[in-house]
Structure 1
């Protein structure tokens, strides 16, 4: 496993890219309401990135075996788990949507996502969004030197499953830096004390995908990207990029509009 450890200059580059990615989500927040299409959200994001002097990491992104990704961000609505492609269908009251943004600035990648509730949503949808956010933070607070990647996954899995939800297995967090996806893989389930040991300078995403129903997912149709829950249940996801510091962690994808951490984080 070839993990890259970031020096002071790299950390500063990652901080800037992370903040800019989060600021794209801040920019989009007032626009995400009933009637907007996800294609319009994508257009607004591209406009924001242009003003920032950042570029989208997803537009044209083509891992082996995939078609080029056609948009500046991913919009995953309701039972779409991840990699939803923006389209012309208007969002309606009661929808939940994950907006996942990755920008490149001066060669560094910043990757973050948030859930948005469109108008008034059901109590069940609200609970899923909130508990998925909490699950991400249960993973983040495990991050410090000497802990292991398995501690992050185990903490997320225990919290999600104890609340009656399931954790998607097929997709995970990832190392990030001067490339979009690098080592290590960050699973959102697992056993404490297993997998790679955390060391200062590591940067990776924690981005649990939590389903209201069963954990199984499938690829939707023929676009080569969109992943949905097999049982059509709602799915939610939140994502931050984190740095392992000498004493703990730093969340690198924060901005003025970022939701505050849950109360247990500072307790």
Structure 2
């Protein structure tokens, strides 16, 4: 069931989005060679707790997962696309790191993700991240009343495929509100002018996931969570929570 949020509810979600943005900003600032993924998880957890919020990820167990998620952020390094579990791995210069974070504040959820390079960056990694961010921007721009869900997915896929990147067919964004994952599913592909009509009050988490290898095939880790590119090529993942309003799209997870 797709739920439409009132203006007041969207404002409450904006506050949850601020918490997520602050946690991601703190992780970005702390990510450096020699820092462990567990340390980054602790950084995000401290920001979420200080804001009086709670993690949307910790102990979350969707239907596909064999165990509850054990952390407050997902940390996906290099060929890992999404859902990487923070561990003792220490970042190295040149690593491509994607970080996903979700939080609840006063019963409302926010969800966002960033990708960055630690230390000295390879130009091709910066281009991969920039393309994912551009795809996200194009998808956000399509979130206007009267457009359709297919327009959003088409914007993501078009940006990725024009650059020669693989686009995950089975994973994408989602509705969000009182629960982190609500209807509708937001695929990272679609046909323009097709699918559900976007209405004011609809709130979506839009999350492009691109793999540098053009196939977009992936493997699931033994932990049942992390997805990695099948060919070992690097990946980028970015995300914002976006509200469809009468005045156009409003990003709820900006700092």
If the length of structure 1 is used for normalisation, what is the TM-score?
0.93
1: CA distance, partners of 2:238 / 2:86: 18
Partner of 1:179: 179
2: CA distance, partners of 1:194 / 1:94: 40
Deviating beyond 3 angstroms after TM superposition, the runs of 4 or more aligned structure 1 residues are none
Spell out, residue by residue over 1:109-160, the C-alpha distance to the aligned partner (whole angstroms, 9 max, x if none). Answer: 0000111210011111111011111111111111100000100111211121
2: CA distance, partners of 1:195 / 1:218: 29
Q: How many residues align?
A: 253
1: CA distance, partners of 2:98 / 2:118: 11
How far is the alpha carbon of 1:26 from its aligned partner? Answer: 1.4
Matches within 5 A, 1:134-173: 134-173=134-173
How far is the alpha carbon of 1:29 from its aligned partner? Answer: 2.1
- In 1, are the aligned partners of 2:19 and 2:47 still within 8 Å (CA)? no
Sort the Cα spacing of 1:159 and 1:64 in 2 relative to 1 into closer, same or farther, 3 A: closer
Structure 1, unaligned stretches of length 5 or more?
A: 256-267
1: CA distance, partners of 2:14 / 2:243: 9
Other structure's SS at 1:17 match: helix
1: CA distance, partners of 2:185 / 2:101: 19
Structural RMSD (CA): 0.9
Partner of 1:22: 21
Partner of 2:3: 4
Q: Mean alpha-carbon deviation: is it higher for 229-238 or for 56-65? A: 56-65
1: CA distance, partners of 2:41 / 2:187: 28
1:125 aligns with 2:138: no
Spell out, residue by residue over 1:57-102, the C-alpha distance to the aligned partner (whole angstroms, 9 max, x if none). Answer: 1000012242110001100111101000001010100001111110
Other structure's SS at 2:130 match: helix
1: CA distance, partners of 2:111 / 2:49: 17
Structure 2, unaligned stretches of length 5 or more?
A: none
2: CA distance, partners of 1:216 / 1:136: 21
Other structure's SS at 2:247 match: coil
Sort the Cα spacing of 1:248 and 1:22 in 2 relative to 1 into closer, same or farther, 3 A: same
2: CA distance, partners of 1:64 / 1:160: 28
1:201 aligns with 2:201: yes
Sort the Cα spacing of 1:172 and 1:65 in 2 relative to 1 into closer, same or farther, 3 A: closer
2: CA distance, partners of 1:64 / 1:156: 26
Partner of 2:217: 216
Partner of 1:258: none
- In 1, are the aligned partners of 2:143 and 2:249 still within 8 Å (CA)? yes
If the length of structure 2 is used for normalisation, what is the TM-score?
0.97
Other structure's SS at 1:139 match: helix
